[in-house]
Amino acid sequence: MNEGLYEAVFCYGENKVDPFANTNADFARIISDMRLVGYDINAVNVAQQIMLEQLDTLLKTKNQILELAMDLENRDDFCREKYGLSYKDIDALDPQHDIEWDIKSGKVIFFLGHEAKHKEEAYMTLFKKATDAFVQKTGFEYVSL
């Protein structure tokens, strides 16, 4: 990508701070996907696309756990032993609605929304490793409000 295009697409705000400076993402694929569906290519939309992919991954993980335990008689015990949460607590997690994001001071931050704040311990119990890996890969920052 040429420097002018990079500046126009990825730099954000008056000071042109790059929110993706530490991001190790496949920008060619992300931008290609965005073009296919007609999204404007800008920092906010790219950050949204990256976050949506992460939220989909968390949702798939949650659904796999629920599917695995669904037919077990002792599904709550199984989930508590294996994942540290009850089946009901895992089912209550809704990454696509609970997790919000924004670009502040040239950084992409994500956090649990006000309505989901009480689920933070459950999210960290189930998704701590995934969150840490996502932060390391993207340079996005998880903020506990």
pLDDT tens per residue across all 145 residues of the chain:
445 555 656 666 666 677 888 888 888 899 899 999 999 888 888 999 999 999 999 999 999 999 999 999 999 999 999 999 999 999 999 999 999 999 887 789 999 999 999 999 999 999 999 999 999 999 999 999 8
| Number of domains forming the structure of the chain | 1
pTM for the model: 0.85
In SS3 terms, 91-129 reads as HHCCHHHHEEEEEECCEEEEEECHHHHHHHHHHHHHHHH
Q: Which two tokens stand for residue 144?
A: 């506990």
Range of the domain at 126: 3-142
